Amino acid sequence: MKTTIILRDDLYGLLTATFGKRNMSKTINEILFETLRECAHLQESTRTDSDDRV
């Protein structure tokens, strides 16, 4: 249990350091969801025609 709490604290610290203090009031799940959504959007916007020829 203590390890889990430490990992969560480290993750929260990493995310707030990366994305700024504006996310301090958000839950970790909200931050992760937004991050994954942004990454998926970036991945789609950077695709090229060669990506379709797998």
Kindly state whether residue 49 falls inside one of the protein's structural domains. Answer: no
CA distances from 17 to 9, 31, 52, 53 (A): 12, 12, 35, 38
Q: Is residue 53 part of a domain?
A: no
pLDDT in single tens digits along all 54 residues of the chain: 455 555 566 777 776 677 666 655 667 778 788 888 888 887 777 766 555 555
Domain assignment of residue 6, yes or no? yes
**Per-residue pLDDT, 31:** 76
* Predicted pLDDT at 49: 54
Domain, as residue range, for 7: 2-44
Tell me how crowded residue 30 is: count the other CB atoms within 10 A of its CB: 11
Q: How far apart are CA 28 and CA 7, in angstroms?
A: 12
